[in-house]
């Protein structure tokens, strides 16, 4: 009985890597991941900002891209546009309302492979307490061993969201109705 | 060093009323400007004048404190009861501290990212950097509620002065009008 249990346990352990895509932790510790955004200022220029604090993980297997998954949790309080007074305004109920909605999350529901290294990540994005399905246009940038004994895979993704869709009143003018989100994600394979 | 004098000097009186006008102006402009729309022509100019006037107020308040330290305080009116004397002393002290607290917190909001405060376009008041986490938000809350507190106390201060003038018919208000 004991032997059988051990055998099946070992079998499942051996079989596991083949059945499941590899799990990756997004490297926020070493800050090799970025959640950036840009929005038009008056229609004349781009304003860039980012969220400094977030965490997430993904599962990924190059051979079975469609089975991949990603989830991300962003601390909305960490918004940083390199201007303290503006960031204070962005945290206020006029925009992110961080006291009430401290987290923004993205959970993928479907991966749609495209040509070459490109793919679409469909998923639910929650911002300002509102959840909506969005599509992130993503591309695989590279993967391989790092110089410190780990294994990494990296991706870039971009999507646009309408502020009004997430119950953020657009007080910035017609050119600033949408925000482009740019994600740069490097994951370290979990051992 | 603290000698007591009978009445207020001309400088003290002028400064008192200038400070009163600036404090009321700063409260009103602050209350109004936080709700300005992005496309309002005042969106950038109102904070500019608000901050500039705040720095001017700081200079005036430092001068008032120095003046008081060097020239001594004005003795209370003898007809006032001990309780009234004590209450007015505490009120005056709190008004002074409140003004300094509001100025400091305002400074900390605007300079949290290292940017200086432009004063009337004449000079820049440098930033001391981010001194603690969430500086702009915490200083913002202090600034707002201390301002509400100060203006409440200032109203009380004015009502008390009017009460002494019209009901008690003493010199409380008069000696702040004439040296």
pLDDT in tens, B86-120: 999 999 999 999 999 999 999 999 999 999 999 99
Split at pLDDT 50, 70, 90, the class of A17 is very low
Helix H or strand E encompassing B155: helix B135-166
A44 part of a folded domain: yes
Chain A residue closest in CA terms to B140 = A88
Domain assignments of chain B as residue spans, ordered by start:
10-176
A180 part of a folded domain: yes
Count: domains in chain A:
1
Residue matched to tokens 């605007």: B110
A185 part of a folded domain: yes
The residues with which A123 forms a beta bridge, in sequence order, are: A108, A134
**pTM of the predicted model, to two decimals?**
0.85
Assembly ipTM: 0.82
Nearest Cβ partner of B37 from A82, A83, A171?
A171
**Cβ <8 Å between B110 and A87:** no
Predicted confidence (pLDDT) per residue in A131-143, tens digit? 999 999 999 999 9
To test the contact with chain A by mutation, choose from B34, B36, B38, B111 the residue with the greatest count of A C-beta atoms within 10 A, namely B38
Rg of the Cα atoms in chain A: 19
- Contact assessment for residue B137 and residue A88, using Cβ atoms and an 8 Å cutoff: yes
**Cβ <8 Å between A84 and B110:** yes
Q: Which domain holds residue A39?
A: 21-189
A5 part of a folded domain: no
**Cβ <8 Å between A85 and B109:** yes
Q: Which CATH number fits domain B10-176: 1.25.40, 2.30.29, 1.10.3470, 1.20.950?
A: 1.20.950
**Cβ <8 Å between B110 and A172:** no
The residues with which A48 forms a beta bridge, in sequence order, are: A38
Chain B residue closest in CA terms to A174 = B39
Question: Which CATH number fits the domain that encloses residue A148?
Answer: 2.40.128.110
Q: What six digits make up the tokens of B38?
A: 């992005």
């Amino acid at each position: 009985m004991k032997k059988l249990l051990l055998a099946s346990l070992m079998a499942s352990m051996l079989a596991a890597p083949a059945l499941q895509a590899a799990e990756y932790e997004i490297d926020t510790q070493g800050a090799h991941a970025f959640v950036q955004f840009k929005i038009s200022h008056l229609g004349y220029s781009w304003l860039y900002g980012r969220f400094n604090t977030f965490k997430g993980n993904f599962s990924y297997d190059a051979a079975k891209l469609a089975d991949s998954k990603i989830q991300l949790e962003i601390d909305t309080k960490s918004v940083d546009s390199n201007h303290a007074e503006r960031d204070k305004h962005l945290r206020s109920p006029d925009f992110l309302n961080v006291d009430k909605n401290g987290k923004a999350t993205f959970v993928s529901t479907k991966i749609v492979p495209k040509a070459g290294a490109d793919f679409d990540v469909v998923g639910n994005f929650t911002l300002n307490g509102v959840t909506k399905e969005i599509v992130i246009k993503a591309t695989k940038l590279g993967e391989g061993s790092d110089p410190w004994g780990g294994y990494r895979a990296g991706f870039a993704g971009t999507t646009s969201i309408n502020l009004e869709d997430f119950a953020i009143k657009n007080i910035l003018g017609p050119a600033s109705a949408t925000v482009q989100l740019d994600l740069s994600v490097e994951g370290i394979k979990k051992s | 060093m603290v000698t007591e004098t009978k009445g207020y000097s001309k400088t003290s009186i002028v400064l008192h009323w200038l400070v009163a006008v600036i404090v009321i102006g700063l409260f009103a402009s602050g209350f109004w400007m936080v709700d300005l729309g992005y496309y309002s022509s005042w969106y950038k100019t109102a904070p500019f004048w608000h901050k500039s006037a705040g720095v001017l107020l700081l200079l005036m308040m430092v001068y008032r404190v120095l003046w008081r330290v060097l020239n001594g305080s004005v003795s209370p009116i003898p007809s006032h009861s001990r309780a009234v004397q004590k209450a007015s002393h505490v009120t005056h002290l709190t008004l002074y501290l409140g003004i300094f607290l509001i100025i400091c917190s305002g400074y900390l909001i605007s300079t949290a990212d290292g940017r200086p405060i432009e004063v009337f376009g004449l000079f820049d008041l440098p930033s001391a950097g981010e001194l603690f986490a969430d500086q702009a938000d915490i200083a913002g809350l202090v600034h707002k509620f201390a301002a509400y507190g100060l203006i409440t106390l200032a109203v009380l201060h004015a009502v008390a002065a009017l009460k002494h003038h019209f009901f008690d018919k003493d010199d409380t208000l008069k000696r702040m009008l004439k040296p």
